[in-house]
Structure 1
Amino acid sequence: MTDAKRPAGAVGWLGLLVIVALGINLRPILTSVGPLLTEIRDATGLGFQGASLITVLPVLCMGLFALALPWLGRWLGESRGMLGGLLAIAVACVWRLLLDSGVALIASAVLAGTGVAIIQALVPGVIKRWFPDRVPSAMGLYSASLMAGGGTAAVLAPIVAVRFEHWQSGLGIWAIPALLGIALWWWLRPREVQPNSAAPVGEHWFASRRAWLLALYFGLINGGYTSMVAWLPLYYRQLGWSAEGSGQLIGLMTIFQVLAALSVPLLIRGSLDRRPWLCLCLLIQLGGFAGLLLAPLQATALWVALIGYGLGACFALSLTLTLDHLPDPRAAGSLAAFVQGIGFIITGIIPYITGALRDLTGDFQASWLLLAVCVVLMLGVTLRFVPEGYARAMRGGA
């Protein structure tokens, strides 16, 4: 592809392909761990809280680096940021092929999480700029690819580990899609006139009450995902399931996450009010967590499917809701970076808390109850997002 410049908004299917390639690489570093956690703990001696750091620290990195985007963006730039992020993921995965200690595994998680953080902080602004009239559709496709990458890794990681006879291979093979993503970004991304910085100078949101509300909302509405990735396979391993069977539960959850992300643009077509659909999807999540609490071995697939659909729709809807608040692509991208920054810190802490509850109580029932309570609280918060109030809220109103 030539470097001919094209205006923002003229991006076609090649741009969508690049977005999909980026999304696919953002979750395998998390989801490949859960199905192999028994083998990892046996080999490294990590406890539940120590093992939770493999999930918690990358998600915290996602938050911290997103918050630093207004400063890092001026130095790093969008293209270098994307390439550097993909390279960090690839290097971390190759490192995982060679490591044999818990400390090294946690360190590789931090490196990979840094790469993921940079990419996903930049993607919403790219989508808003490349697809100004198709934000919900592009965001849905991005969310679906992100979740599909995570689910594929959860299903294939134990299969690869068995095939190559050591658990490290199930974690390290995900360097391949990262390297493919580097090639696609380098060769296929739309060339366009764009600013030198990845975030607008001076656009910081720490003083905005609405930005903080959106960030807390994003973190709590999506908090179930990291806990499911960290603990659902292990939960069913302890109930007698195999590594492959427990990993397939994440795969099933992912199928419904993808279906939800792809269906969101159809659901919200013609309306700027996201509240009815957010409430519906939160109730669907709640039904799934209630099932895990009350009947985990009966209708397991139904509970996991409900959780997956609810989480998948909430992720896409909550990011779309954030972008709806501002018409300018750069400002909206900066707001989305802040929301993801605070939100992913919250989301990263949740599996640590649920793991600690498991250590304290001896089972995961208290963990599932905590997630259900968070969903109920977010139902109340959802009612505050009235479209007619976006402009006033961003000017400093309630």
Structure 2
Amino acid sequence: MPLNKSLAGWGLLVVLGLNLRPLLSSISPLLGEIRQATGLSFQSSALLTSLPVVCMGLVALVGVRVEARLGERRGIALGLMMILLACLARWVMGQASALLVTALLGGAGVALIQALVPAMIKREFHHRVPVAMGVYSASLMAGGGLAALLSPLVAAHFQQWQAGLGVWLLPALGALLLWAWLPLGAPRKLQAAPVFKGLRNRRAWLLALYFGLVNCGYMSLVAWLPAYYQQLGWGVLPSGSLLAFMTIFQVIAALLMPVLAQRGIDRRPLLSISLLAQTIGYLGLIIAPQAYPHVWVALCGFGLGACFALSLLLTLDHHRDPRQAGQLAAFVQAVGFLINAVSPWLTGWLREFTGSFFSAWGVLTVTAVAMLVVTRVFSPATYRTGSEVVAPGHA
């Protein structure tokens, strides 16, 4: 049953995406309670966000081998199972060491799914890749926002912060059952996987660095935005709701911008708009955080949601063959997520070193402006002349 001919396929993209960010975004609104209970410092607390992202990068590096050994069906099922077990362990254990171990376990599960989904989208939605990427990206963002909004409520209901983290085993269980029931996803391929040829290619590395830097603000905001506003006097629920509000605009951008991208082949104008929105949002958090907080958060969310979807779409544009496009996307995500992993850690370090988050938002502003300049390099003429990513040695 082809995905692009079935509502089940679109629904599956949504369900998979919803499970890929609660592991990260459920931490931030409850960080004060977690730190008080476990004794974690700001910098150590950042590892709860950084470690899953490191796993996303490292597992994506071996994404080709994972696909060859397991296939999409078993690989995605394994990823969902790891997320489920990580959330269950967080509910029943409250030690700092357990949180760090579950960050690794759940991060590896998220990474498995993220490494396999782009090739599936390229293959099954080949006539509507931008729209499918938008649906997947929007669902991913929505899962993060729901976790930021609902985790404090669940924790308050059960009167323990562990419940706010562990409750996300339920959507993982639902997704696992749906994945087992629906006959979707490519089986394990018996033939040897083709070797990825982009490691010595400057364009492949540029795409990877670009993906990492245009999206690194998301990890910092997920980790520290509620803590920033709690430092300014906000309560746990209002500060956590800011992440949910940001997610609304991430979802809008992740759906809208790829649909607009369907009309042409040049991704640069939409990427430039997205990076400009990020820049204004970060500046607002520095200059007038209390005056118009929802405006700045909305701009950051819109820019980040659009950049995630568009930068992945830009990567898939570089290959016509779905499997080769999937390999390139896995490499780009691997390097990109390793860069993203540094972002919340650096933000936490800057917070401890300077006593405020202003310096962190300043670094993100400079990064967005720099990537705005780099965007002009990605002319379609440099990658739409053949099936290879770009001739070696060319940018």
State the TM bucket, normalised to the shorter chain: over 0.9
Between 245-254 and 71-80, report the one with greater CA deviation: 71-80
* Further displaced range: 25-34 or 9-18: 9-18
1:189–1:11 Cα change, 3 Å: farther
The more displaced of 286-295 and 11-20 is 11-20
Distance 1:142 1:261 in 2: 8
- Alignment match of 1:158 (pick from 152, 157, 162): 152
Match of 1:3 in 2: none
Shift, 1:200, TM fit? 3.5
**Per-residue CA distance 1:172-194 (angstroms, 9 max, x = gap):** 000000000101111124366x5
**Could you tell me which amino acid in structure 2 is paired with residue 90 of structure 1?**
L
- For 1:275 and 1:313, locate their aligned partners in 2 and report how far apart those are by CA, in whole Å: 12
Q: Is the 8 A contact 1:144 1:258 kept in 2?
A: yes
Aligned partners of 1:244 and 1:97: how far apart in 2?
20
In structure 2, C-alpha distance between the alignment counterparts of 1:23 and 1:99, rounded to whole Å: 26
Which secondary structure state, in structure 2, belongs to the residue aligned with residue 222 of structure 1?
A: helix
The 8 Å contact of residues 14 and 189 in structure 1, kept in 2 or not, is answered as no
Cα deviations across residues 343-372 of structure 1 (Å, max 9, x unaligned)? 000011111111111110000000000000
- Is 1:168 aligned to 2:162, yes or no? yes
Partner of residue 391, structure 2: 395
Question: Displacement of 1:206 after TM fit?
Answer: 1.4
Q: 1:129 to 1:198 in 2, by over 3 A?
A: farther
Tell me whether 1:42 sits opposite 2:52 in the alignment.
Answer: no
1-side partners of 2:8 and 2:76: how far apart? 16
Of 6, 26, 35, which residue of structure 2 is paired with 1:12? 6
- Aligned-pair CA distance for 1:242: 1.1
What is the RMSD computed on CA atoms of the aligned residues? Answer: 1.5
Instruction: Give a deviation string over 1:95-136, Cα, whole Å, max 9, x none.
Output: 001112111111111100000000011111110011000000
2:204 is the counterpart of 1:208: no
Give, in whole Å, the separation in 2 of the partners of 1:198 and 1:147.
35
Tell me the alpha carbon deviations over residues 378-398 of structure 1, each in whole angstroms, 9 at most, x when there is no partner: 011100000011156622222
Give the partner amino acid of 2:209: L
Q: Secondary structure at the match of 2:194?
A: coil
What's the % identity of the aligned pairs?
A: 53
Say yes or no: does 1:138 pair with 2:132.
Answer: yes
Residue in 2 aligned with 1:71?
65
2:261 to 268, 272, 278: 268
C-alpha contact 1:200 1:330 (8 A) present in aligned 2: no
Question: Which amino acid is the alignment partner of residue 86 of structure 2?
Answer: A
What is the deviation of 1:72? 2.7
Once residues 230 and 97 of structure 2 are traced to their aligned partners in structure 1, the CA distance between those partners, rounded to angstroms, is: 24
1:19–1:142 contact (8 Å) kept in structure 2: yes
Identify which range, 24-33 or 201-210, moves more after superposition.
Answer: 201-210
Give the distance between the partners of 2:35 and 2:347, measured in 1 at CA.
Answer: 18
The residue that corresponds to 2:306 in the other structure is: 313
**85, 90, 93: which is aligned to 2:87?**
93
Structure 1 residues 199 and 177: alpha-carbon distance in aligned structure 2, compared to 1, 3 A threshold:
farther
Query: What do residues 264-304 of structure 1 show as CA deviations (whole Å, max 9, x unaligned)?
Result: 13322321000011001100110100000101101000000
Q: Aligned match of 1:343 in 325, 336, 345?
A: 336
Q: How far apart, in 1, do the equivalents of 2:229 and 2:33 lie?
A: 14
Is the 1:53–1:106 Cα contact (8 Å) retained in structure 2? yes
User: Aligned partner of 2:64: which letter?
Assistant: P
How many aligned positions are there?
391
SS at the partner of 2:196?
coil
Give 1:301's match in structure 2, choosing from 294, 297, 300. 294
For 1:198 and 1:349, the matched residues in 2 are separated by 37
Shift of 1:74: 2.0
The equivalences for 1:231-246 within 5 A come to: 231-246=224-239
- Secondary structure of 2:383's counterpart equals helix
Counterpart amino acid of 1:179? Answer: L
Please say if 1:110 is aligned against 2:99. Answer: no
SS at match of 1:394: coil
Secondary structure, aligned partner of 2:377 = coil
Q: TM-score, normalised by structure 2?
A: 0.96
Kept after mapping to 1: 8 A contact 2:120/2:185: no
Aligned equivalent of 2:366: 373
Distance 2:3 2:229 in 1: 46
**What is the one-letter code of the residue matched to 1:208?**
N
Runs of 4+ in 1 over 3 A off after TM superposition: 8-11, 197-200
Aligned-residue offset at 1:12:
2.1
Residue identity matched to 1:203: F
3-state SS of the aligned residue for 2:120? helix
Q: Secondary structure at the match of 2:230?
A: helix
Contact 1:69 1:198 in 2 (8 A): no
Is the Cα contact below 8 Å between 2:68 and 2:188 reproduced in 1?
no
